[in-house]
Copies of this chain bind each other. A is one copy, B any other.
Amino acid sequence: MEYTARQIADMLNGDLEGDPELKINGFSKIEEGEEGTISFIANPKYSKYIHSTKASAVLVGRDFKAENGINTTLIRVDDAYQAFAKLLTLQNNNKLNTSGISTKATIRENAKVGRDVFIDDYVFIGEHAEIGDNVKIFPHTYIGDNVKIGKDTILHPGIKIYNNCRIGENCLFHAGVVIGSDGFGFAPQTNSNYQKIPQIGNVIVEDNVEIGSNTCIDRATLGSTVIHKGVKLDNLIQIAHNCEIGENTVIAAQVGISGSTKIGKNCMIGGQAGFVGHLKIADNVKVAAQSGITSSIKKPGQVIQGAPAFDFGKYQKSYVLFRKLPDLYDKINELEKELKELKQTNKND
């Protein structure tokens, strides 16, 4: 990007104090400001940096006051953080504002490709796949046969989407994501071998879903593994066959969810938590990081911790006493000793 301070102030309905012709071509944190960049101050804790920052312009609140003279150009706005985020989004969108289909990509003849798509080198798109308008697909990404990708979705490099899966609109998947690999299902045989249970369902990812790097979502045995709209998945997550993740649920990195577990809407799942299979988790549930969830949760909004997980507050209390166990142990032994002495005294009386 390259804008003048005047252009930025106008975009943000801000008031400019300083050089309107100042050229801005990047962003910085206030404490690491560099020439030519714009920064922001939203938290008063950072106000002091207004004097030392090397950022050429700074977004501040309408009522921002600095004690001494300021060398940097100020742009006063209603909410400095939101204004800054707006600029970032604009810049981000510009960066991705590219289209065209590489001659070094494979698109099978009977695949359908929408308008204004970007398909880069070494992308593979299988038979009967349908790619919506304005979709962007980065190098080394694989789209299997019969896959549908909704409009405005962005697929970063090296993603693998198996046959028959469906991806919604306006999704963002990061590098190395795997969608639709086989669920982990085996029937034990009498000779202690296992026979594979074929996994012929698919994965459905609805609109506005973001999925982090190297996260894996397995296809259903039959039917669909479903990621509902607005879900946000971090990196390296495992979602097994036939799971369902409710609208706007947010799941942190390295969580594992076993087969057929259904998670409600608006849940927040901490990193490295694990769920056994066939559970049903209510809406708005919060799960502490590293918890192990072994039974269904019926109460919406419950907050749980532990392995197996139970009420968060109770876990905290138990854990405080876990740390004190050596003291408790000493106390019990002391009580035992005193009791013995007392009995002895009584006997001697």
Contact = CB atoms under 8 A, between A and B. Distances in A.
A186 B194 CA distance: 38
Contacts of A124: 120-122, 139-140, 157
A307 B323 CA distance: 11
B338 A184 contact: no
B328 A332 contact: yes
B332 A321 contact: no
Interface stretch (A14-22, A26-34, A45-53, A66-74): A26-34
Contact of A321 (B95, B230, B325): B325
A326 B321 contact: yes
A265 B194 CA distance: 13
B318 A326 contact: yes
Contact of A338 (B104, B139, B343): B343
Contacts of A153: none
A120 B160 CA distance: 14
Given A216-B236, A253-B184, A256-B271, A322 B332 contact: no
B158 A140 contact: yes
Interface in A304-331: 307-308, 310, 314, 317-319, 321-326, 328-329, 331
A252 B258 contact: yes
Interface residues of A, number: 101
A75 to B, nearest CB: 17
A314 B324 CA distance: 9
Interface stretch (A4-12, A86-94, A111-119, A295-303): A86-94
Interface of A: 27-29, 32, 85, 88-89, 91-92, 95, 104, 106, 120-122, 124, 138-140, 142, 156-158, 160, 162-163, 172, 174-176, 178, 181-182, 184, 186-187, 192-198, 200, 208, 210, 212-214, 216, 218, 222-223, 230, 232, 234-236, 238, 240, 248, 250, 252-254, 256, 258, 265-266, 271-272, 274, 276, 289-290, 292, 307-308, 310, 314, 317-319, 321-326, 328-329, 331-332, 335-336, 338-339, 342-343, 345-346
Given A142-B157, A318-B324, 11 more contacts: A85-B198, A124-B139, A138-B142, A158-B178, A184-B212, A235-B238, A274-B290, A276-B289, A290-B292, A317-B325, A345-B346
